[in-house]
Structure 1
Amino acid sequence: MPVTADDVDLSVRLTIEAFGGVADGWDAPAGTLEWTCWETAEHVADDLFFYATQIGARALRHAVPFGYGALREGGPDLTITARREAGPAGLLQVVEACGALLTAVVRTAPPEARAHHVFGDGDAEGFAAMGVAEMLVHAHDIAAGLGVGWQPPADLCARVLARLFPDVTSTDDPWRTLLWATGRDDLPDRPRRTEWRWHSGPIPAA
């Protein structure tokens, strides 16, 4: 099954629901990342925005040249940020808005649309899958920092795995396999990954 605009919308909604009631702890490290939970949420919003504008502009040879930069040494490079005085609710609203933008662009992009990504030129489904993957795995990072439970739907994880990691053999736990594929967990028969990349280009027809 393809990854769709509805999947982007679902991943964002589940994240907003999981963290919407959390008022404190956003300056804690996000899991094993060097970023805080706040910075990681901004990074996700930035990715959703970037993917939407990249496939929307169909920029085939380079990234759309938005200005960006880190707010502190060691922090993520960002175009999109959230005003701190808006609090966690405002931060999540920024994530939600950027997710809605990617959802809309994926839903309306023609099948032939292609845009540049460092892992290979992608189609709308590829950018949707990358957006969902960023949302799910970084929600995992944020949840670890906030001390909140996080378990996305297995079928959603399975679709993202099939689209972005066609070389990875899934297990009976697609969520754990996705975490392994992105270097965040061990599997019994596989050492933890220290390097990885996904397949952002269209999957060739069988």
Structure 2
Amino acid sequence: MSDTAAHKPAPVTADDLDEAVRLAVDLLRKAPASAWEGKAGSLEWDCWETVEHLSDDLFAYAAQMGPRTPPLAGDVPFHWESRRPGGPANAIHADRSAGSEGLLQVLEASGALLVAMVRTTPPHVRAYHGFGVSDPEGFAAMGIVETLVHTHDLAAGLDLVWSPPADLCARVLARLFPHIPVSPDPWSTLLWATGRADLPDHPRVTSWRWYGTPQP
């Protein structure tokens, strides 16, 4: 076995995504019902809107792989709309009369859709994303990044403590951020790579992206 193969990170899986969503929902269930109107960390959205946005991300990634021939040049054309100026443009909105528990059910359901699509879509299938045409593993990794970093935003707004598994952070960094140097603290590195934290000896990230196209 070559040295490169020996050090190649394990793939990102549907189980990883399922774990990320489960951990996020378990944490968010600790928030009081009165806290959801506050801002989500440094975002301009409130916590309710941020969960809707995260749910919409997970739904949209599942939908991209849904057609018999997934699109390679654009999104599946759902209608996305913002419900207020400056709010997130979503296809997914939760019924506010269902309260925060209903909101988290929407998040769980959207996550489950993406988990199911990652499990059942053959690995050779490709589908469009603005950061690179990707495969099921890539969409799983995207869903995990969205879940981890938006739960960080939500934890700041809801006064909760969020520290996801280091191994999971390391593997999504390796899959989507191959340009980022390996770090002994993958969670801090992921926050830095997504413009949410400082990292010693590195300039603050003000514009960021990931690279979803599978590497040869």
TM superposition score normalised by structure 2: 0.93
After TM superposition, give the deviation of residue 59 of structure 1 in Å: 1.6
One-letter amino acid of the structure 2 residue matched with residue 10 of structure 1: E
Describe the superposition over 1:72-99 as per-residue Cα deviations: whole angstroms up to 9, x where unpaired.
0000000001011111100000000000
2:40 to 27, 30, 46: 30
Q: CA deviation at 1:55?
A: 1.6
Unaligned runs of 5+ in 2: 1-9
Cα distance in structure 2, aligned partners of 1:80 and 1:134:
15
What is the aligned counterpart of 1:5 among 14, 34, 46?
Answer: 14
Q: CA offsets per residue over residues 84-137 of structure 1, 9 Å max, x none?
A: 111110000000000000000000101111000111100011110000000000
Residue from 11, 15, 18 that aligns with 2:27: 18
**1:185 is aligned to 2:194:** no
Residue-pair matches, total = 204
Report deviation, 1:62. Answer: 1.2
Paired-residue identity, %: 60
Partner of 1:164: 176
Question: Which aligned pairs between 1:44-193 and structure 2 lie closer than 5 A?
Answer: 44-57=54-67, 58-193=70-205
Structure 1 distance, partners of 2:34, 2:181, is 38
Q: Which amino acid aligns with 1:113?
A: V
Matched, 1:43 2:53: yes
Could you give the per-residue CA deviations for residues 113-170 of structure 1, whole angstroms, max 9, x where no partner exists?
Answer: 1000111100011110000000000000000000000000000000110001001013
TM normalised by structure 1 equals 0.97
Q: Structure 1 unaligned segments of length 5 or more: list them.
A: none
User: Distance in 1 between the 2:66 and 2:135 partners?
Assistant: 10
Q: State the secondary structure of the residue aligned to 1:73.
A: coil
Distance across 2 between alignment mates of 1:202 and 1:181 = 19
**What amino acid sits opposite 2:22 in the alignment?**
R
Q: Deviations over 1:17-54 (max 9, x none)?
A: 10113122111111100011110100000000000010
- Runs of 4+ off more than 6 Å: none
Q: Distance in 2 between matches of 1:32 and 1:111?
A: 36
Aligned with 2:98: secondary structure? helix
Structure 2 CA distance for aligned equivalents of residues 26 and 171 of structure 1? 34
User: CA–CA distance in 2 between the matches of 1:132 and 1:149?
Assistant: 18
The residue type equivalent to 1:101 in the other structure is: L
**Counterpart of 1:42 in 2: which secondary structure?**
helix
Report the alpha carbon displacement of residue 191 of structure 1 after superposing the two structures with TM. 1.6
